[in-house]
Amino acid sequence: MTVINMRSLAVLMIAGGLALLAMLLLASLAEAQSDPNRFNRLMKPAAERNAPPPEDGIHDPDSPGTHLLQTPREAFEALPDSKSGNYVQWNEAMDKGLIEPRNSLTPVSTPPIVLDLNIVREVKGSMPDVVYPHKQHTQWLDCSNCHPAIFIPQKGANQISMASILLGEKCGVCHGTVAFPVSECRRCHSQPKATAAEDPSD
């Protein structure tokens, strides 16, 4: 076999490998778009999601009390739908008064401290900037759930990346496990970047 034929064969093999890789990537992206939970770590397949308590792997199936519990699907039926996670728009349900989360495991007389403050994080590239709404989080959680163990409450003190979030750090402590998955990009990346004309630093 000549050197030219060897080169041609090598080029064909590389091109074929790249084409196969591209096809696999496109198929994976198509599947991810049809099921936003595909990248959601710890999320069970749709058929196993929101199983009745005796079958959920959390409750004791031999306990008579387990069989008296309401099933998640029955409990979620009247709540606003979501396209991913456990398929409930929890903030919308709270805003409509359909649910009233407790801010403590023990009975308390003081209401939760709800902080109505948005933090905007500028991101590199073409994605819109991230808006972190404290209000939606502090309606559910006490400040100590996040500060200072997960986020240091100081400007510039937190290095946040999609890689760390996907690894279950920072926002990923909850998002991808008990809160909507990170595959719903626009729920966080929701503020369009300022144009040069709008930029107050100019």
Is the domain of 143 the same as that of 79?
no
- pLDDT exceeds cutoff 70 at 184: yes
More confident call, 73 vs 93: 93
- pLDDT exceeds cutoff 80 at 32: no
39 belongs to a structural domain: no
CA distances from 139 to 101, 172, 180 (A): 8, 19, 16
pLDDT at 67: 94
Domain count, the chain: 3
16 belongs to a structural domain: yes
Is the domain of 51 the same as that of 89?
yes
Task: Tell me the whole-structure pTM to 2 decimals.
Answer: 0.65
Is the domain of 116 the same as that of 183?
yes
- The phi and psi torsions of 189 (rounded to 5 degrees) equal -80, 80
Question: Across the chain, what does the average pLDDT equal?
Answer: 83
pLDDT at 34: 56
Distance CA 127, CA 191 (A): 9
- The tokens of 25 are what? 């990537």
CA distances from 158 to 71, 149, 152, 189 (A): 39, 11, 6, 18
- Residues 165-169 have a mean pLDDT of 92
Distance CA 21, CA 189 (A): 29
Is the domain of 17 the same as that of 83?
no
pLDDT band at 109 (very low <50, low <70, confident <90, very high): low
120 belongs to a structural domain: yes
Of 78, 100, 122, the domain-final residue: 100
Is the domain of 138 the same as that of 165?
yes
pLDDT (tens digit per residue) in 61-84: 999 999 999 998 899 999 999 877
pLDDT (tens digit per residue) in 97-108: 999 887 777 776
- pLDDT exceeds cutoff 90 at 200: no
64 belongs to a structural domain: yes
- The tokens of 21 are what? 């890789």
pLDDT band at 30 (very low <50, low <70, confident <90, very high): low
Domain that holds residue 176: 107-196
At 133 the three-state DSSP class reads strand
201 belongs to a structural domain: no
Taken in order 51, 56, 62, 67, is the CA torsion positive or negative? negative
pLDDT band at 121 (very low <50, low <70, confident <90, very high): very high
